[in-house]
Structure 1
Amino acid sequence: MNLLHLDSSIMGANSASRVLSAAIVERIVETHGAVNVTYRDLAREPLPHLSFDAFTALDTGNDVQQFLNTDIVVIGAGFYNFSVPTQLKAWIDHIVVRGKTFARGENGPIGLAQGKRVIVALARGNVYSEGSPYQAFEHAETLLRSVFTFIGVSDIQFVVAEGLGRSEEARRASIASALEAASKVSTNAATPAAPGA
């Protein structure tokens, strides 16, 4: 099983999403004897943002091929200005590629990346979950769900730590709760889609 582990937080050792993504990967590796893990730190080695020249060559890029060769993607994502880090958005722009991860069908787009699993460790300073007065400001989970659904990934899970900026006590409690959730994440790869699905 091939696992791609991406971190995108700019917070380094103070990053909650990095702690959570590492815990998720550790659980999967401990459960499965043969997991080939590829780690990429998108904050330390960022991809260039799209230019026209880069856009026209995406279908021959290494990033989309690496994604296509992966069974499980674990993403550590911070939450900046109501969305994902720009480093993670740049990676997304390199893997959403017509003819590779999606195609145009008679009735609209068709996702070509079925049979993959995506687990996102998301850390937010405030509370944006359902029922929060700030719920409408949450554009990280909604963006990631939209992108991966668009390219055919149906098995998407989020482990969220939020309210981290409210107090040190709130931060500790939220991270502890998220780590508990991470310890219960299913470690199986997604079931491959049936041909023509």
Structure 2
Amino acid sequence: MTRTVLHIDSSARTEGSVTRDLSAQIVARLGAADVIHRDLATPLPLLDGAWVGANFTPADQRSEEQKQLLSLSDTLIEELKQADTIVIGAPIYNFSVPSTLKAWIDLVARVGVTFRYTETGPVGLLEGKRAIIAVASGGTQAGSDIDFATTYLRHVLGFIGITEVEIVAADAMSIDAEGALAKAQDQIKALAA
């Protein structure tokens, strides 16, 4: 039973967005007791030199300014840690994810916090979670050679330890919008709550 869902919307469109609609339907289907909603329509800050410097300063040596620089990242990571399931609404923009979603990823993928390096390679630290990604595209077919969005999201989520990733796709909507939406609806109905 899903207890807590982190619901992330990344479409620039706040109205009429297919991924916002699909991700909301997924969240409703899961019937979680608690939902944390993170809307990336208001963009997150991009990483800069000061942030990187703060991140690579040992935690016990960070200045108050460095702690403040990392506070949003800490909050976003805490939201991930609280969630059993992460639902991400991710439209495919120019074959990849929206820049706002990439900014979120940059803020949550932190060495020593959400992943660590070992002699045998990186190990994700957020294991035991499930992710469901609702994608929509005009012409890109999900899982095709030109879909860099779902492959990237699967990879980066796995990198931080979230390996159970499911895709709900309303793809190639410019070709057959009705069929794409019907397929996505069937995928939502088939999701285990």
TM range (shorter): 0.7 to 0.9
Alignment of 1:107 with 2:104, yes or no, is no
Tell me by how many angstroms 1:15 deviates: 1.1
- How far apart, CA to CA, are the structure 1 residues paired with 2:54 and 2:171? 38
| C-alpha distance after superposition, 1:142-181 (max 9, x if no partner) | 1001101111111110000111123xxx212211220121
Match of 2:105 among 76, 88, 92: 92
Structure 2 residue aligned with 1:190: none
Unaligned runs of 5+ in 2: 56-69
Structure 2 residue aligned with 1:54: 51
Structure 2 residue aligned with 1:195: none
Alignment of 1:171 with 2:177, yes or no, is yes
Match of 1:153 among 162, 174, 183: 162
- Secondary structure, aligned partner of 2:141: coil
Percent identity for Structure 1 against Structure 2: 38
**Could you say which structure has the higher helix fraction?**
2
Match of 2:10 among 8, 12, 15: 8
Alignment of 1:18 with 2:20, yes or no, is yes
Structure 1 residue aligned with 2:80: 67
* 1:154 alignment partner AA: T
* 1:122 alignment partner AA: V
Check the 8 A contact 1:23/1:183 in 2, yes or no. Answer: no
| C-alpha distance after superposition, 1:3-24 (max 9, x if no partner) | 1101101122221111110110
- How far apart, CA to CA, are the structure 1 residues paired with 2:146 and 2:91? 15
- How far apart, CA to CA, are the structure 2 residues paired with 1:46 and 1:54? 16
Q: Give the structure-2-normalised TM-score.
A: 0.85
- How far apart, CA to CA, are the structure 2 residues paired with 1:71 and 1:53? 32
Equivalent residues, number: 175
Check the 8 A contact 2:6/2:35 in 1, yes or no. Answer: yes
Structure 2 residue aligned with 1:141: 150
Tell me by how many angstroms 1:25 deviates: 0.3
* 2:19 alignment partner AA: S
CA RMSD of aligned residues (A): 1.5
| C-alpha distance after superposition, 1:76-135 (max 9, x if no partner) | 0011111000001110111111111100112111111101111000001114245xxxx3
- Secondary structure, aligned partner of 2:157: helix
Check the 8 A contact 2:137/2:171 in 1, yes or no. Answer: yes
Check the 8 A contact 2:89/2:134 in 1, yes or no. Answer: yes
- How far apart, CA to CA, are the structure 2 residues paired with 1:157 and 1:114? 15
* 1:47 alignment partner AA: L
